[in-house]
């Protein structure tokens, strides 16, 4: 269900055939209007504000977390970063997967920290940070990470 909180009304209600594990909102390359993107069982589906399917692609496994972010400094477009149950973080430029990072456990959260930089958390207690394709650091703890919040304390990005 997409809901307009300012108007206190439904925008649309749609049953996603491939299931729903996570959502993101943003613009996909080659599509003018922003989309509500649903991550489900081995697929990602994007809907416009009229509930029309405008985007679909397959992922390696169940999508658990997704964020739009600028992945490179080449252009100003956002790519879709997706974490899934098969221990992979994949980056999509439109329907094309442009990068695949393999980790040691299920990806449970991804948070944008700043341009080209994101944090991630795994089901086994590992968390860390990537700058585009390069892992900056990672750490593992005995307790499970349940959530991340990405921020730039300097507020300069």
Band (pLDDT 50/70/90 cuts) for residue 18 is confident
Q: What local confidence, expressed as pLDDT, does residue 106 receive?
A: 95
- How is domain 2-140 classified at the CATH fold level? Methylamine Dehydrogenase; Chain H (2.130.10)
Q: What local confidence, expressed as pLDDT, does residue 94 receive?
A: 87
Q: What local confidence, expressed as pLDDT, does residue 115 receive?
A: 82
pLDDT at 77 over 90: no
Band (pLDDT 50/70/90 cuts) for residue 75 is low
Q: Strand pairing of 88-93 and 63-69?
A: unpaired
Band (pLDDT 50/70/90 cuts) for residue 157 is low
What is the average pLDDT score of the chain? 90
Band (pLDDT 50/70/90 cuts) for residue 43 is very high
Band (pLDDT 50/70/90 cuts) for residue 88 is very high
Q: Average pLDDT of 119-141?
A: 94
The 117-122 sheet, strands edge to edge: 107-114, 117-122, 126-131, 134-140
Q: Average pLDDT of 113-132?
A: 92
Alpha-carbon distance 97 to 19, whole Å?
Answer: 21
Alpha-carbon distance 137 to 153, whole Å?
Answer: 19
Task: Identify the DSSP state of 26.
Answer: E
Q: Give the domain ranges of the chain.
A: 2-140
């Amino acid at each position: 269900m997409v809901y307009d909180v300012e108007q206190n009304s439904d925008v649309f209600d749609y049953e996603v055939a491939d299931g729903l594990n996570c959502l993101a909102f943003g613009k996909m390359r080659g599509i003018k209007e922003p989309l509500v993107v649903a991550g489900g069982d081995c697929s990602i589906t994007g809907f416009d504000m009229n509930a029309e399917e405008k985007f679909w692609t397959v992922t390696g496994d169940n999508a658990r977390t997704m964020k739009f972010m600028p992945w490179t400094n080449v252009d100003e477009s956002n790519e879709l970063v997706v974490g899934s149950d098969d221990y992979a973080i994949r980056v999509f430029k439109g329907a094309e997967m442009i990068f695949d990072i393999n980790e040691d456990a299920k990806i449970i959260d991804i948070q944008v920290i700043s341009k080209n930089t994101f944090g991630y958390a795994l089901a086994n207690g590992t968390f860390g940070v990537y700058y585009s394709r390069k892992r900056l650091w990672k750490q593992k703890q005995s307790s499970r990470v349940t959530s991340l919040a990405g921020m730039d304390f300097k507020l300069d990005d």
